[in-house]
Amino acid sequence: MVIIAPSILSADFTRLYDEIKAVTDAGAEWLHIDVMDGHFVPNITIGPVVVENIRKKTSLVLDCHLMIEHPEKYIDAFIKAGADIITIHSEAVLEPLDLITQIKKLGCKVGISINPETPLEKILHIIPKVDLVLIMSVHPGFSGQKFIDDVVPKLKQASEVIKKIKKQIYLQIDGGINNQNAGLVKKNGANVLVAASFIFKNKEYHTAINQLKEA
Protein backbone atom coordinates (compact mmCIF):
# COMPACT_ATOMS: atom_id res chain seq x y z
CA MET A 1 0.00 0.00 0.00
CA VAL A 2 1.35 3.40 -0.96
CA ILE A 3 1.28 6.35 1.45
CA ILE A 4 0.65 9.84 0.10
CA ALA A 5 2.40 12.63 2.00
CA PRO A 6 1.36 16.09 0.79
CA SER A 7 4.14 18.62 1.25
CA ILE A 8 2.84 21.83 2.79
CA LEU A 9 5.56 23.73 0.93
CA SER A 10 2.94 24.40 -1.76
CA ALA A 11 0.01 24.97 0.59
CA ASP A 12 -1.67 28.33 1.14
CA PHE A 13 -0.16 29.43 4.46
CA THR A 14 -2.83 32.08 4.98
CA ARG A 15 -5.28 29.22 5.55
CA LEU A 16 -2.96 26.41 6.57
CA TYR A 17 -5.37 24.63 8.92
CA ASP A 18 -8.01 24.51 6.18
CA GLU A 19 -5.40 23.12 3.77
CA ILE A 20 -4.40 20.39 6.24
CA LYS A 21 -8.03 19.45 6.85
CA ALA A 22 -8.67 19.36 3.10
CA VAL A 23 -5.82 16.95 2.33
CA THR A 24 -6.80 14.83 5.33
CA ASP A 25 -10.37 14.57 4.06
CA ALA A 26 -8.95 13.80 0.60
CA GLY A 27 -7.13 10.71 1.87
CA ALA A 28 -3.62 11.82 2.87
CA GLU A 29 -1.98 9.67 5.55
CA TRP A 30 1.12 11.74 6.29
CA LEU A 31 1.98 15.43 6.18
CA HIS A 32 5.42 16.24 4.80
CA ILE A 33 7.01 19.31 6.37
CA ASP A 34 10.01 20.77 4.54
CA VAL A 35 12.31 22.61 6.93
CA MET A 36 14.89 24.81 5.16
CA ASP A 37 17.45 27.19 6.61
CA GLY A 38 18.72 29.20 3.64
CA HIS A 39 22.17 27.62 4.00
CA PHE A 40 21.94 23.91 3.18
CA VAL A 41 19.38 24.86 0.53
CA PRO A 42 18.70 28.30 -1.00
CA ASN A 43 15.33 28.82 0.66
CA ILE A 44 13.91 29.48 4.13
CA THR A 45 10.65 27.89 5.25
CA ILE A 46 9.42 27.02 8.74
CA GLY A 47 10.62 26.00 12.18
CA PRO A 48 9.46 24.15 15.31
CA VAL A 49 6.82 26.73 16.27
CA VAL A 50 4.85 26.06 13.09
CA VAL A 51 5.22 22.30 13.57
CA GLU A 52 3.93 22.65 17.14
CA ASN A 53 0.83 24.47 15.93
CA ILE A 54 0.25 21.97 13.13
CA ARG A 55 0.46 19.16 15.70
CA LYS A 56 -2.38 20.74 17.67
CA LYS A 57 -4.62 20.61 14.61
CA THR A 58 -3.99 17.17 13.10
CA SER A 59 -3.45 13.52 13.96
CA LEU A 60 -1.66 12.83 10.65
CA VAL A 61 1.90 11.55 10.79
CA LEU A 62 4.16 14.62 10.78
CA ASP A 63 7.08 13.78 8.53
CA CYS A 64 9.70 16.50 9.11
CA HIS A 65 12.36 16.72 6.42
CA LEU A 66 15.29 18.75 7.74
CA MET A 67 17.16 20.41 4.88
CA ILE A 68 19.39 22.33 7.23
CA GLU A 69 22.97 22.63 8.38
CA HIS A 70 23.79 21.39 11.89
CA PRO A 71 20.50 19.51 12.33
CA GLU A 72 21.72 18.21 15.68
CA LYS A 73 21.03 21.66 17.16
CA TYR A 74 17.32 21.44 16.39
CA ILE A 75 16.37 17.79 16.91
CA ASP A 76 15.04 18.29 20.44
CA ALA A 77 12.90 21.24 19.38
CA PHE A 78 11.25 19.41 16.50
CA ILE A 79 10.56 16.31 18.58
CA LYS A 80 9.05 18.41 21.38
CA ALA A 81 6.97 20.19 18.73
CA GLY A 82 5.39 16.87 17.75
CA ALA A 83 7.35 15.42 14.83
CA ASP A 84 6.67 11.71 14.29
CA ILE A 85 9.53 11.23 11.83
CA ILE A 86 12.65 13.32 11.41
CA THR A 87 14.64 12.88 8.22
CA ILE A 88 18.17 14.24 8.00
CA HIS A 89 20.37 14.64 4.94
CA SER A 90 23.48 12.51 4.60
CA GLU A 91 25.16 15.53 3.01
CA ALA A 92 24.48 17.74 6.06
CA VAL A 93 26.35 15.77 8.73
CA LEU A 94 29.76 14.11 8.85
CA GLU A 95 28.55 11.02 10.70
CA PRO A 96 24.79 10.52 10.49
CA LEU A 97 24.79 7.42 12.70
CA ASP A 98 25.47 9.43 15.86
CA LEU A 99 22.52 11.72 15.16
CA ILE A 100 20.29 8.80 14.18
CA THR A 101 21.02 7.19 17.55
CA GLN A 102 20.21 10.47 19.32
CA ILE A 103 16.87 10.82 17.53
CA LYS A 104 15.86 7.24 18.32
CA LYS A 105 16.74 7.67 22.00
CA LEU A 106 14.29 10.56 22.07
CA GLY A 107 11.52 8.25 20.88
CA CYS A 108 11.17 9.53 17.33
CA LYS A 109 11.37 7.64 14.05
CA VAL A 110 14.26 8.68 11.83
CA GLY A 111 14.97 8.86 8.12
CA ILE A 112 18.05 9.42 5.97
CA SER A 113 17.90 11.39 2.72
CA ILE A 114 20.19 11.72 -0.26
CA ASN A 115 20.24 14.32 -3.02
CA PRO A 116 19.96 13.33 -6.70
CA GLU A 117 23.72 13.40 -7.27
CA THR A 118 24.62 11.43 -4.12
CA PRO A 119 25.26 7.71 -4.71
CA LEU A 120 23.31 5.24 -2.61
CA GLU A 121 26.61 3.68 -1.55
CA LYS A 122 27.14 6.62 0.80
CA ILE A 123 24.29 5.44 3.03
CA LEU A 124 24.35 1.65 2.62
CA HIS A 125 25.75 1.22 6.15
CA ILE A 126 23.07 3.55 7.51
CA ILE A 127 19.95 2.07 5.92
CA PRO A 128 19.56 -0.81 8.44
CA LYS A 129 19.53 1.73 11.28
CA VAL A 130 16.70 3.97 10.02
CA ASP A 131 12.94 3.80 9.60
CA LEU A 132 12.84 5.64 6.27
CA VAL A 133 15.03 6.24 3.24
CA LEU A 134 14.26 9.37 1.21
CA ILE A 135 15.46 9.61 -2.37
CA MET A 136 15.31 13.19 -3.64
CA SER A 137 14.14 13.38 -7.25
CA VAL A 138 14.79 17.13 -7.53
CA HIS A 139 17.48 19.37 -6.12
CA PRO A 140 16.05 20.39 -2.75
CA GLY A 141 14.95 23.93 -2.06
CA PHE A 142 11.86 24.77 -4.11
CA SER A 143 8.62 23.06 -5.08
CA GLY A 144 7.41 22.83 -8.66
CA GLN A 145 10.63 21.38 -10.12
CA LYS A 146 10.70 18.69 -12.79
CA PHE A 147 11.27 15.07 -11.76
CA ILE A 148 14.85 13.87 -12.42
CA ASP A 149 14.54 10.52 -14.22
CA ASP A 150 18.13 9.55 -13.45
CA VAL A 151 17.21 8.77 -9.83
CA VAL A 152 14.99 5.82 -10.79
CA PRO A 153 17.83 3.24 -10.86
CA LYS A 154 18.93 4.47 -7.42
CA LEU A 155 15.37 4.10 -6.15
CA LYS A 156 15.26 0.52 -7.41
CA GLN A 157 18.66 -0.18 -5.84
CA ALA A 158 17.45 1.17 -2.51
CA SER A 159 14.34 -1.00 -2.73
CA GLU A 160 16.45 -4.10 -3.29
CA VAL A 161 18.67 -3.24 -0.31
CA ILE A 162 15.66 -2.68 1.95
CA LYS A 163 14.06 -6.01 0.94
CA LYS A 164 17.09 -7.83 2.38
CA ILE A 165 16.70 -6.15 5.78
CA LYS A 166 14.31 -7.85 8.20
CA LYS A 167 12.45 -4.75 9.38
CA GLN A 168 10.01 -2.18 8.06
CA ILE A 169 11.81 0.66 6.31
CA TYR A 170 9.78 3.11 4.27
CA LEU A 171 11.14 4.11 0.87
CA GLN A 172 10.13 7.67 0.14
CA ILE A 173 10.49 9.71 -3.04
CA ASP A 174 10.26 13.50 -3.07
CA GLY A 175 10.38 15.93 -5.97
CA GLY A 176 8.28 16.47 -9.07
CA ILE A 177 5.91 13.62 -8.24
CA ASN A 178 2.69 13.60 -10.28
CA ASN A 179 0.25 11.23 -11.95
CA GLN A 180 2.64 10.78 -14.88
CA ASN A 181 5.52 9.30 -12.85
CA ALA A 182 3.81 7.92 -9.72
CA GLY A 183 3.37 4.51 -11.34
CA LEU A 184 7.04 4.42 -12.32
CA VAL A 185 8.36 5.19 -8.84
CA LYS A 186 5.95 2.73 -7.21
CA LYS A 187 7.04 0.04 -9.66
CA ASN A 188 10.62 0.67 -8.57
CA GLY A 189 9.89 0.34 -4.87
CA ALA A 190 8.69 3.69 -3.52
CA ASN A 191 5.91 3.28 -0.95
CA VAL A 192 5.73 6.86 0.35
CA LEU A 193 5.13 9.54 -2.28
CA VAL A 194 5.68 13.18 -1.37
CA ALA A 195 3.79 15.61 -3.59
CA ALA A 196 3.52 19.36 -3.26
CA SER A 197 2.49 21.28 -6.38
CA PHE A 198 0.60 18.36 -7.93
CA ILE A 199 -1.76 18.24 -4.95
CA PHE A 200 -2.00 21.83 -3.79
CA LYS A 201 -2.23 23.34 -7.28
CA ASN A 202 -5.08 20.97 -8.12
CA LYS A 203 -8.59 22.31 -7.53
CA GLU A 204 -9.70 18.89 -6.26
CA TYR A 205 -7.23 17.48 -3.72
CA HIS A 206 -8.97 14.12 -3.51
CA THR A 207 -8.66 13.73 -7.30
CA ALA A 208 -4.92 14.40 -7.18
CA ILE A 209 -4.34 12.04 -4.26
CA ASN A 210 -6.42 9.28 -5.84
CA GLN A 211 -4.50 9.65 -9.10
CA LEU A 212 -1.24 9.12 -7.21
CA LYS A 213 -2.61 6.09 -5.38
CA GLU A 214 -4.04 4.51 -8.50
CA ALA A 215 -1.18 5.26 -10.92
Report d(CA 61, CA 109) in Å as an integer: 11
Identified catalytic residue from 37, 63, 131, 174: 174
Identified catalytic residue from 34, 37, 63, 131: 34
Q: List, as one string, the DSSP characters of the chain.
A: -PEEEEBGGGS-GGGHHHHHHHHHHTT--EEEEEEEBSSSSS-B---HHHHHHHHHH--SEEEEEEE-SSGGGTHHHHHHHT-SEEEEETTT-S-HHHHHHHHHHTT-EEEEEE-TTS-GGGGTTTGGG-SEEEEESS-TT-SSPPP-GGGHHHHHHHHHHHHTSSS--EEEEESS--TTTHHHHHHTT--EEEESHHHHTSS-HHHHHHHHHH-
> Is 174 in the active site?
yes
> Is 76 in the active site?
no
Active-site annotation, residues: 34, 174
